[in-house]
Amino acid sequence: MKILYAGSALAAAVLLTAVAFWFSSDDDSFVRLDGGTFQMGSDRHYREERAAHQVTVGPFEIQKTEVTNAEFAEFVAETNYVTTAEQDLDPQNYPGVAAYLLKAGSMVFAQPPDTVDTNDFRKWWRYVAGANWQHPTGPKSTIDGLENHPVVQISPEDAAAYAKWAGGRLPTEAEWEFAARGGLNDADYTWGKDYDPSQGWKANSWQGKFPSTDTKDDGYHGTAPVGSYVANGYGLFDMAGNVWEHVSDWWVPFHATGGNKNPQGPDKATAATYANPAFGPMHVVKGGSWLCAPSYCLRYRPAARQQAETSLSTNHIGFRIARDVPS
């Protein structure tokens, strides 16, 4: 039995084509979407989000929340999986990269005490040996008490491995953005056109002067438990903020506008032409994170997109999974 949900009255004037959705009664951790046609991308914000264009996606299911530490721990316990952050990198595959960057570890946000040049991300990112999903900010950190927070320090390869184990896959960028919009076509945010935090926090993002001062007005510094903020029109949580989310597409710094039915993104070879040869082709991440601030990274929006290295993880990137709908 499946329980049908009608589109909300809020979306009446801006509903996408074919937006009926429902929760599966045998697994309420997923939402089924019938798919439809929507405007993907944006011409109003960052260059890499252009060009806005019409895209059609077919039916699929997507997880209501980001994958949590507890869920990822179950996967590791059953499979003995070792994440990329827990493995030394082969120097032959990374010529010219400093030896310390090849040690098992990952990137960690390091809040500077004073104002810094926001054009230089090295002022607040550090490579920390021993940082991984179980120790997200370094060897002395822990996920005890954070079981319901999104797992971080996950590479695209790790996310895909979990998805396969769980009987799913990573969503495409088009599927993810369709889901994030929640039935609102061309709105800037998952909840509508505007954002006034004085009316209530709608996403886990940075408050204060980035990156030196986080006032934690929403109650969190770092990740928040999944589902802490209001769901979008499709019943999906944290499609804006909290953590960036891996999708299956390779990265190029723009939207290709051809092949707009169930687009899969560019191929790896095309992505490689836009990549630093030292690091190779990148993957797309979506949705912004707790480190996004209006003054620096206004990317807690459905159209927002950034690049993520294939073999490097951070403490502000996680994921959720999708599943195919039987035909």
Over the chain, what HEC string results? CEEEECCCHHHCCCCCCCCCEEEECCEEEEEEECCEEEEECCCCCCHHHCCCEEEEECCEEEECCCCEHHHHHHHHHHHCCCCHHHCCCCHHHCCCCCHHHHCCEEEEECCCCCCCCCCCHHHCEEEEECCECCECCCCCCCCCCCCCCECCCCCHHHHHHHHHHCCCECCCHHHHHHHHHCCCCCCCECCECCCCHHHCCCCECCCCCCCCCCCCCCCCCCCCCCCCCCCCCCCCCCCCECCEEEEEEECCCCCCCCCCECCCCCCHHHHHCCCCCCCCCEEEEECCCCCCCCCCCCCCCCCCEEEEECCCCECCEECCCEEECCC
User: Tens digit of pLDDT for each residue in 203-212?
Assistant: 999 999 999 9
Q: Where are the domains of the chain?
A: 2-69+149-324
pLDDT at position 27, please? 79
pLDDT at position 119: 87
Could you tell me the fold of the domain covering 2-69+149-324? paralog of FGE (formylglycine-generating enzyme) (3.90.1580)
Q: What is the pLDDT of residue 259?
A: 74
- pLDDT for the residue numbered 8: 34
* pLDDT at position 309: 92
Along the chain (327 residues), what's the average pLDDT of each consecutive run of 10 residues? Answer: 30 37 62 97 95 96 98 98 94 82 92 90 93 98 98 97 98 98 93 84 93 92 96 98 98 87 95 90 97 90 95 95 91
Q: What is the pTM of this model?
A: 0.89
